[in-house]
Chains A and B, each alone.
Chain A
Amino acid sequence: MNFEFFFNNLPSLTVSGLAFGAIYALIALGYTMVYGVLQLINFAHSEVFMYGTFAMLWTVMALGGADADGVELVAILLASLVAAMALSAIVALVLERVAYRPLIKRNAPRLIALISAIGASFVLAELMGLRDRVAGWLGLEDDLSDYVGKARINNSIAGVVEAPRWDIGGVSVSSIDILVILSAVAMMVVVDQFVRRSKLGKGIRATAQDPETASMMGVNPTRTIQMTFLIGGLMAGVAAFLYMLKIETTKFDVGFLLGVKAFTAAVLGGIGNLRGALLGGLVLGVAEIWGSALLGTEWRHVVAFVLLVVILLFRPTGLLGESLGKARA
């Protein structure tokens, strides 16, 4: 074990871990909210995130982000954030409409919906991985070559954003990491307050706790479910944007590992619990980075899942336990 490296770099490792964790947390929100309302693991949520990363990438490419700087670059990045949130939200809503609503209407068992989710996940990922073929069928291959090319390998915006490193109290940290952590936490607070205080949020909580009584009160279940997919999609879009700022590279199958990690974060914090998603994400991100520093990067995922198992052994309902419906105001 490399203790010397670990202790010498503890602060910057922690910041980096928190940044990863913040991204996990934003994605975890989508898993946890849908689970809270439907008791369904939306396995295709990972692809909702993946589409967001491509929306970000393509917007930056289309608007000439590579040659821009200063205010212009900031404007392009903001546009790419909006695009990522929009595409992720659309994919999430389409998923709900196509893969889940017909099953829920027919009272299908949750296991069937889970299989549908896994299927949808593969379809969405492969559609992105085969986008050159799809464009070919439409005869748009040449026009879109910049966007559909390299369909099965890494696509990158490396070098577009030259982020300065900041010196905070003698510790060198990436300004991107700080931006990622602050914006993720801010978004989580916004969603948390929305669910606690707004009328729609109360409808979501009531449905999570007791769907039949909620519907007796006049809550429209279909709209409530749509709303949770929408919020989850928007947040996955934010996560995708922040992920691209930090990692700069995406690929059609990038959702898989990120999705599993975010799902782990949700379970770690207590599935169905919004604040648990944040806590679970941050704990997981930091543990992973610390683990990689101590044991070597190849141990990163091992650390993440051993942590999950150990925490669930002692706290089977996760760190914060309680569900979306029961979360106290």
Chain B
Amino acid sequence: MLLEVEGLCVNYGHIEAIRDISFNVPEGSVTTLIGANGAGKTTTLKTLSGIRKVRAGSVKFDGKDITHAAPYDRVKLGISQSPEGRRCFVGMTVRENLDMGAFVRNDRKSKAYQEDIDRVLALFPRLAERINQSAGTMSGGEQQMLAIGRALMARPRLILLDEPSMGLAPKLIAQIFSIIKEINEQGTTVLLVEQNAAQALKAADDAHILETGEIVRSGKGSELAGDDSVKAAYLGGDI
């Protein structure tokens, strides 16, 4: 297992945002957490990035306990995130944003670094066209590509994607999901959080359903996508 989450509890002040959740992310998989707004999906990812503090439980990455590790140590170990709402650095150019993704790396002048930039630009040709443009002047879809590309620049073993389809047109959503598949095929494990359950289940090997801070169902993506109660609750009835 690349990531093992065991009995995780996270609080916001006195409010329990996540209660005792446990799940695994197998190496090489696409694993998804789906659920409604406020179910605790984003909190889970922020906790995995080390932004939120853990109240109880443990997180292991590649067998190593990282429950209380600092965010920058996690990036160094190989966990990077594309956050909810993209959150590109709007005052910086596309290239500078990609450099920020690689902040923990010290090989900026190397060939490997340039190859990683080229790889991201090959995945997202739109970014290549806009490499010196300010990120704030780009469309939502382009910013989403930049946020994913930025996360890839850390050379992650596990990439955390928080709602990459949010606010995008259907055509763009399909494009983003096919790129997620490509990233996974290139060897990066993906933990995907989505409200767009239909797309997420289609893309995922394993899936977990979060409801008010707890995991209520787990299974194979295809299995849950075909399940009647899941269909009714998350997929808007029959599809």
Contacts and interface: CB of A to CB of B under 8 A. Distances in A.
Given A202-B96, A217-B150, A218-B75, A210 B103 contact: no
B91 A327 contact: yes
A213 B83 CA distance: 8
Given A214-B100, A216-B81, A218-B76, A205 B92 contact: yes
B59 to A, nearest CB: 16
B93 interface: yes
B51 A329 contact: no
A206 B72 contact: no
Given A206-B89, A210-B87, A215 B51 contact: yes
Nearest to B153: A217
A324 to B, nearest CB: 9
Given A216-B83, A218-B76, A220-B70, A206 B100 contact: yes
A217 B100 contact: yes
Interface string B105-139: 00010000000000000000000000000101000
A209 interface: yes
Given A215-B72, A218-B72, A199 B103 contact: yes
B188 interface: no
B96 A217 contact: no
B164 interface: no
B1 interface: no
A214 to B, nearest CB: 7
Contacts of A210: 87, 89
Interface string A307-329: 00000000000000011011111
A206 B51 contact: no
Interface centre among B51, B70, B91, B101 (most CB of A within 10 A): B91
Interface string B34-66: 000000000000000101000000000000000
B96 A219 contact: no
A203 interface: yes
B91 A205 contact: yes
A220 B69 CA distance: 12
Contact of B91 (A199, A216, A219, A328): A328
Interface of B: 49, 51, 70-72, 75-76, 80-81, 83, 87, 89-93, 96, 99-101, 103-104, 108, 134, 136, 150, 154
Closest 5 CB pairs of A and B: A218-B75, A218-B104, A326-B91, A218-B72, A213-B87
Given A199-B99, A213-B87, A216-B80, 20 more contacts: A202-B96, A202-B100, A205-B89, A205-B92, A206-B92, A206-B103, A215-B51, A216-B71, A216-B75, A217-B100, A217-B104, A218-B75, A218-B76, A218-B103, A219-B72, A220-B70, A220-B72, A322-B91, A325-B91, A326-B90
